[in-house]
A and B are shown apart, each in its own frame.
Chain A
């Protein structure tokens, strides 16, 4: 058993090293605001089509309604997810996963690690899968999903997806009670930084903005704009007159879908979306996600013949 990690970033680095050693491409975060690592096109789009895929990456994620001004020991409106997607899912996916826990210092002989039913569904992505939330001593440390459908398309082959909530997991491993007290870099570094040094102020600022200040009229307009742009991009003919090539713009369109989804989350945090409207908004984002998935499977990366 390797020595225990000493900081938040060391846990991330160990996960990177572990999954790299298992053959995953280590990607970088997607450069847009997303609610979860699943939204990264390396998961959402790459889970589609027949081409094998193996990727792992950190994804900063935003859930405006979870903001607690940095006061709650482990609830944050901005946090990190670690995401692994392997297609087709290997037969020893569970063991690979348990190996990653070992790599970050979770000794399975003293902890209680459990796979508890959690059927994953993303109404906004038109996606679902079956799997579990993985518990370590009662704490949810990961989501483990076998994707069955994304964007309304059957996943063939099936991808195995892992999502680690990095802060919670790290707090657990490092035995920290409050996220803001967690060492971000090595506690013995010349300039030792805690998670709070990095994020306490931003949590306060964003919580205030998310809950009380964000301009809902502007956000509503952003939503409408992103939706329109997504549709417009997808309506463009596949053949690019300038290059003479067939270029389906699945990714740029999908960016707009991500944007609409995040704006919806912000509106939700502002409390201006009712239960019935919620369904309508989610339906609109899903329609975009489906259209993007439809476009992606027409592309080479999506498995269509070149």
Chain B
């Protein structure tokens, strides 16, 4: 059983693509070999900055001969059909056999595929793999047409067994296969030949190339932590960076360097970001002070001076970078100490979106909204408004211009520097959260108020200008914003009539209505004060109504009305995102639908409590059976109502109850009513739903013992009215008609 070794040697492959590429190489080649009839015992792929390597052990030396019979058309079938069959089977007409079949004589094609030598198959599969490799981005070079991630220089492809190694001949656009490779670009640049994988890996190591990425990463981490430990320091863990750095070197040499004292006063996040983003350095921290004091860089070179020149160079580059950061930081601190006004002013000149005004306009809206939301989240309205006013100021700062990923964090530093309250400063940082589904949700009231106001303003604004997400397109990350709102509301238990999403959104939409009016045609100018007046006095729907009464139906009125419709549309967008969110938490979509159908669905906290209680109830035996009972009651009732053309909703009277089960149901419904009504009022869904589930026994017994459609019309009507009590009680808890199954 021979072993196969393949190496694709190229100019430097981007670090982030290497692991995936090695996997793809293994998969494409092994799949291709297996499809062509070879088998193998094991396969492993490796990558370095300059090579993808695949080692396959125990490959069969040739594929087996295959004999395949295919049944074709009947004898005498039209020529076209026969020719089609010949083409598909790849045989000539005279090779067809005629056999007797149940329906008469039929053509058969017997296709003999002889076994093929492994080398032929490998050459074919490898060429196809190289030509169709799924690089995230690939390129041409010179005057060729072949595409690879960077210019491909050589292909090593050998089959080896006890008898020795043989090159698998192959030519891809002039690159012919061989049995040689090269070592480290500078330390061992000469070509050498190899005979099998073990030989290859060992010779590479002698030529200063560590083939395995995990071995390189381990060596880096080991050396870095040891060097830091010797100085009483620790390396800040960063797995992403470690993987990346391991992909940048074939021969890692870890060097620990000093950060100039002049820069130790910079915030640690700035040091870390600057060193990582620009230099791919690890940060080294003093565990006693928490300060970043040193760095680790990983070279790809062994030098006679033990890396002294390299380290000195890196230190110099870092100093220049940090001098820049310090320049930004000091300039920013000056502005911050004086209250940040120039930043706020300059935001007036920065367009947020051409249809939604400047950043300053946006901040005004968020500040007003944060003030309104504050009481709902237990925040001081003045502080919330103030926080919203300064929360975006760092966008004008030099540091954030250089490192956009530090937005918010710098805001917090600068707000502290400006002498603002700690809660306000914290909001500068936290109001961006949560960014992703796993990001922490702020809980400090001022931060929550600003975070909600920011996101709701963004959503409402883009809805107002009709820039909603469609399909996979969501350029303004509105889905993420909506999920952020949902998580902020739920995790902070924001609830109550004055704290529902509808109320928030309605307030958020007011400035857009005002904007619409302000930008309306000149003929409308005299109307503006009136609209503003109405908006100030009434809620949105009412303001629009009054405006219509006052002005009559008109063009701009409809535009404003469209803005009102945003409320409903945006709310259903929230509900859609909520469904996704809850589905991930294991709550079925029909349960959510049953709760969304209830009034007060713009109070997400309540909505989720209801859904959770319902899910819990439905998970019980009683709950599950109750649904069946409810459905049966509802079906009988609906049919009867349709047939009779009346609604049975009132007046079931126990005095017409004949059967024990019927009487018991009356009693059970009375008891349930007594529990459910107050529980619902107190928004205690689980008590209400437990009481509802308790009806299961009496309902089941009723359906077993009692005939609803009795001969006596009085009895029948009374029983239908009794069913309607079941329906009413159940529907008061959730819209159970939406529950599936």
Contacts and interface: CB of A to CB of B under 8 A. Distances in A.
29 contacts: A72-B327, A73-B320, A88-B143, A89-B141, A109-B186, A109-B304, A111-B301, A111-B313, A112-B299, A112-B300, A112-B310, A113-B186, A114-B248, A116-B280, A119-B137, A130-B137, A138-B281, A138-B314, A139-B313, A139-B314, A148-B139, A156-B140, A157-B142, A158-B143, A172-B316, A271-B346, A271-B349, A274-B349, A274-B350
A137 B143 contact: no
B279 A138 contact: yes
A137 B248 contact: no
A287 B490 CA distance: 48
A158 B300 contact: no
Given A112-B299, A271-B346, A272-B349, A129 B139 contact: yes
B297 interface: yes
A110 B305 contact: yes
A81 to B, nearest CB: 18
Interface of B: 11-12, 14-16, 49, 137-143, 149-151, 153, 186, 248-249, 279-281, 297, 299-301, 303-305, 307, 309-314, 316-320, 323-324, 327, 346, 349-354, 358-359
Nearest to B187: A109
Q: How large is the interface on A (under 10, 10 to 19, 20 to 34, 35 or more residues)?
A: 35 or more
Contact of A89 (B142, B300, B324, B350): B142
B602 to A, nearest CB: 31
B443 to A, nearest CB: 31
A276 B352 contact: yes
Given A73-B320, A115-B11, A274-B350, A158 B313 contact: no
B16 to A, nearest CB: 7
B317 A138 contact: yes
Contacts of B327: 68, 71-72
Contacts of A274: 349-352, 358-359
B248 A109 contact: no
Contacts of A112: 299-301, 307, 310, 313
Q: Which 7 A-B pairs have the closest CB atoms?
A: A137-B313, A117-B14, A274-B351, A157-B143, A115-B12, A138-B314, A112-B299
Contacts of A146: 139-141, 150-151
A90 interface: yes
Given A72-B324, A88-B143, 20 more contacts: A72-B323, A91-B153, A109-B186, A110-B304, A110-B305, A110-B309, A111-B310, A112-B310, A115-B12, A137-B299, A138-B317, A139-B313, A146-B150, A156-B140, A160-B141, A177-B316, A177-B319, A271-B346, A276-B351, A277-B354
Nearest to B142: A88
A93 B10 CA distance: 13
A271 B349 CA distance: 8
A218 interface: no
A110 B303 contact: yes
A276 B314 CA distance: 37
Interface string A48-90: 0000000000000000000010011111000000000000111
Nearest to B301: A112
Contact of B12 (A109, A132, A136): A132
A130 B139 contact: yes
A158 B141 contact: yes
Given A130-B139, A158-B142, A276-B354, A172 B12 contact: no
A139 B317 contact: yes
Contacts of B249: 114
A138 B324 contact: no
A94 interface: yes
Interface string A212-239: 0000000000000000000000000000
A109 B139 contact: no
Contacts of B310: 110-112, 137-138
Nearest to B304: A110
A137 B317 contact: yes
A109 to B, nearest CB: 7
A304 interface: no
A275 B349 CA distance: 11
A157 B305 CA distance: 43
A136 B311 CA distance: 11
Contacts of A20: none
A13 interface: no
B181 to A, nearest CB: 16
A192 interface: no
A108 interface: yes
A137 B351 contact: no
A117 B16 contact: yes
A109 B303 CA distance: 6
B230 to A, nearest CB: 22
Contacts of A89: 141-142, 151
